[in-house]
Structure 1
Amino acid sequence: MSEHPAFGGRLLIGAAGSAAVALLPVFVSALRGSFTGTVSVLMTRTATRFVPASTVALFADRVVTGDDPATWARANHQSLVAEHDLLVVLPATANLLAAAASGAAPNLLGAAILAATRPVVFFPVMSAEMWANRAVRRNVAQLREDGHLVVDPATAPRYDVAAGGFVESPAPPAPPAFVDVVRDHLSR
């Protein structure tokens, strides 16, 4: 039984290409504990290299990749944001943050962010060095100035292949904290 009351809405989760996208099913599962609405996932091409869209589809009501031209009329950037109450991006890579901050639309997710008429919620995931980089900090500041929410990442251990061990690194929030942010923004 969930400790929080049920809530609903139409949620669009944008998933950028990062190894952290492999955890997306965990976040959607946590959301399902109290979320009664619909969950659509918009995956970039790179995201689908880390976790197949078919795997994400086991947890979401709908998965869009933009790969099939037959879906373009119905699943384009305009229609996707219009059909949803909130767009959250998990994981948000440094590349995606830069594109969004500069107004670029390098892919369907970038175009959806530009088409959003309500604030977008970004959950950044990257190395500590990247998160501390001045260019990334400027992009985060720009997104916040534009009215979007950029959730500061939690710090958690992750295995670094190059280091051959665990390092402290920026990470998405724990799934219950993710659910709380979604609940808060859908209730606005």
Structure 2
Amino acid sequence: MQGSRILLIIGGGIAAYKTLTLIRDLKREGARVVPVLTRAAEEFVTPLSVAALAGEEVHRDLFDLTREAEMGHIQLSRDADLLVVAPATADLMAKMAGGHADDLASTLLMATDKPVLIAPAMNVRMWTHKATQRNLATLRSDGILIAGPDEGDMACGEFGPGRMVEPDALLDAIRSGLGPARPAPLRLGPDVAAKPMQGRHVIVTSGPTREPIDPVRYISNHSSGAQGAAIAAALRDLGARVSFITGPAQVSPPEGVEVIAVQTAEEMRAAVEAALPADAAVMAAAVADWKVANAADRKMKKNGSGMPVLEFAENPDILAWVSGLAQDRPALVIGFAAETHDVVANATAKRARKGCDWIVANDVSPESGTFGGAENTVTLISADGAEDWPRMGKDAVARRLAARIAEAL
């Protein structure tokens, strides 16, 4: 984060007080923080306190004659490495989703070409309102990064989702939003800059597998493939050549990667073998553990003779197989552990059992909303122990993981 420039837009909510701690933490890590206050924010934190902590002038007015003669709002929005909106109120989110630009904050957000991270904060009923959820979906589809919100006690006395994430969690999200430290450009040709994964080949598996019962029925799971697709896109953006091996997912594969579509676990294993060698393998697919050994070659019919008996057999363990390769083993093999209970304990045991380098553990219990949802809460487990990551969008998880892979390689 050293030398990064953060444009911090502080919205009008009681959670604005948390930004004072955030500013101090960002400064401690070597970032430059340029603060912007909305009119409503000044009801909760003072321009003087924000300016003192940031060591920067506080920007408040769109119609500043001197600055706007020089197109100041354009310069502010373009000079930043990352725009952070905290707290992102329901009103600010609505302005962003609708493309409004009627004050300095909303104009900056419209004028920027840089990544934007928001930390929503509002009353639980405002958060769950259909309009807010529509706006949230729009912002996600526009590529806005989202941290939180948390669930807990509200200043208004209610309880539920809507609390702004704590400063340490938001700091983690900012680190992820900034991405990995980039090396100095190499002169590879006109206007071509080296990326940290340039020249690397990564295999990413994603989505569910489908194991046939008969030609029209199958066994599968609820994996949407969203996290795997996001990881493939993040590695592509860092310059990697990505072989993206995907089961029948709900999300479309990212552009700019080699897509290999499969159905069954056996097909996925064969595709992984064909894609080797690779520098890293990210096994994010939710592979079925079992297949139907006596799958019918024609549709099963109810004929009054009772229920059919399905015999099961184990599917190939792709993660253990890749981890145990004597030749062509990737330097870094990463597995995923989708657990419904004892997440860290089960994932730690899985890493030892499979022989992989890292395990990304996540809670996929129904109440977590991970399967089919836009956010994820993961723990990265390695030989160094377990590292909890804050809840964040799957795109942010992917960028953070891709940065760690680049660093490791």
For normalisation by structure 1, the TM-score amounts to: 0.86
Unaligned runs of 5+ in 1: 1-5
2:129 to 128, 133, 141: 133
When residues 145 and 58 of structure 1 are mapped into structure 2, their CA distance, relative to the original with a 3 A threshold, is same
Q: Deviations over 1:45-103 (max 9, x none)?
A: 11112211111111113221127544434573211011111101001000010010010
Structure-to-structure mapping, 1:17-96, within 5 angstroms: 17-33=12-28, 35-62=29-56, 63-66=58-61, 68-73=64-69, 76-96=72-92
2:116 to 112, 117, 120: 120
- In angstroms, what is the RMSD of aligned CA positions? 1.9
- Who is 2:162 aligned against? 170
> How far apart are residue 39 of structure 1 and its match?
0.5
Q: In structure 2, give the amino acid aligned to 1:159.
A: A
Instruction: Please state whether the residue corresponding to 2:115 is helix, strand or coil.
Output: coil
**CA–CA separation in structure 1 for the residues paired with 2:148 and 2:141:** 15
Q: In structure 1, give the amino acid aligned to 2:175.
A: R
8 Å contact kept, 1:42–1:64: yes
**CA–CA separation in structure 1 for the residues paired with 2:172 and 2:71:** 28
Q: In structure 2, give the amino acid aligned to 1:143.
A: L
**CA–CA separation in structure 1 for the residues paired with 2:71 and 2:9:** 13
For normalisation by structure 2, the TM-score amounts to: 0.41
> How far apart are residue 169 of structure 1 and its match?
4.9
**CA–CA separation in structure 1 for the residues paired with 2:134 and 2:160:** 23
Counting aligned pairs with the same residue, the percent is 33
**Higher mean C-alpha displacement, 21-30 vs 49-58:** 21-30
8 Å contact kept, 1:7–1:183: no
> How far apart are residue 30 of structure 1 and its match?
2.5
Unaligned runs of 5+ in 2: 181-409
- Who is 2:274 aligned against? none
**Higher mean C-alpha displacement, 133-142 vs 115-124:** 115-124
Question: Which structure's CA Rg is the greater one?
Answer: 2
> How far apart are residue 168 of structure 1 and its match?
4.2
> How far apart are residue 8 of structure 1 and its match?
3.3
**Higher mean C-alpha displacement, 75-84 vs 9-18:** 75-84
- Who is 2:10 aligned against? 15
8 Å contact kept, 1:127–1:170: yes
8 Å contact kept, 1:76–1:108: no
Instruction: Please state whether the residue corresponding to 1:65 is helix, strand or coil.
Output: coil
Instruction: Please state whether the residue corresponding to 1:11 is helix, strand or coil.
Output: strand
Q: In structure 2, give the amino acid aligned to 1:106.
A: D
Q: Deviations over 1:7-26 (max 9, x none)?
A: 33011001111122122211
**CA–CA separation in structure 2 for the residues paired with 1:97 and 1:38:** 25
8 Å contact kept, 2:127–2:161: no
8 Å contact kept, 2:99–2:110: yes
Instruction: Please state whether the residue corresponding to 1:57 is helix, strand or coil.
Output: helix
8 Å contact kept, 2:4–2:30: yes
Instruction: Please state whether the residue corresponding to 1:136 is helix, strand or coil.
Output: helix
**CA–CA separation in structure 2 for the residues paired with 1:109 and 1:159:** 24
Instruction: Please state whether the residue corresponding to 1:72 is helix, strand or coil.
Output: helix
Q: In structure 2, give the amino acid aligned to 1:124.
A: P
8 Å contact kept, 2:81–2:115: no
**CA–CA separation in structure 1 for the residues paired with 2:14 and 2:145:** 22
